[in-house]
Structure 1
C-alpha cells in the first residue's frame, strides 16, 4: 500500500469552558487520524487557553490523499490526578490534505450540550512529499535461527 507522511500541528485552544469544580484546568489533546491516535502533553499553565504547538506525524494511505479528504478527530481532556480525566470538547473534521495554512474551528461536545460552543481550536497540517510503500505483515511468526 502506498502512503504519505501527514504532519498535523495542534497549536492551541481558547475560551474553553472550565469543567473543573476544584483545581485548575490542565488540558491535553488527543488527535486521531488514519486509525491512529496521538496525545499532546497537558498544558499546566494556561488553564482555559492551552498552548501546545505540538506536531505529530501520521501515515495516511495514498488513496485517501488522491480522494482529497479524510476524517480526523480532536478531543480535549482535562487531566485530573484523583479520578478519570474529564472530557472538555471535541472537533470532528474532514481534512483536505492539500490545504495550506492555519485553521480555527469551534469545539463542541458529544453530550446533551451538543448545540453549544465550548471554545475554539487552532491547528495546521502539511502533506509530506515522499510516497512510502507500507507493507502489511499479517503473519507475525518468530523463527529461532540457532545454527
Structure 2
C-alpha cells in the first residue's frame, strides 16, 4: 500500500532516492564487501542491496520521506538454533519525513516489520536449499 501511495503522490521519484538525493552506502564500502550485494530488485523489493553475507544482509532505501537501512542477520537462540533478526535504521527527510514517520509508527511495528522479517526468513531458507555452501539454521546449530 505504501509503494502505491508513494507513486501516486510522487514520494518515490528518482530525484528523491539513492544516487540523487542520497549517496548509496554501497558506494562507500570496500570493493570486496560491495561485490557481495548482487543485483538490485531481484526480489521485487524497493530496497537496494548494500551487502550480503551468508548470515547477514543490509538493504537501503531513500525517498522523499526517509533514508533507511535494513539489517537482517541470524542470531543464536537459547536452544542452540538460530532465528532471523531485523534492525531498521532510518533518518527522516525534513519536517514532512518526521511527521510521516510519527504517523505510521504503530503500523510499521505491528504490521510492516514482522511481515518483512517473515518474508526474508522464508527467502533466506529457500535460498539455502538451492545454493550449496550457504549457511542454514540447521547447519548453524551447536
Same fold (TM over 0.5): no
Could you say which structure has the greater relative contact order, defined with CA pairs below 8 angstroms and 6 or more residues apart? 1
TM-score of the superposed pair, with normalisation by structure 1:
0.29
Q: Is the radius of gyration larger for structure 1 or structure 2?
A: 1
Structure (1/2) with the larger helix percentage: 2
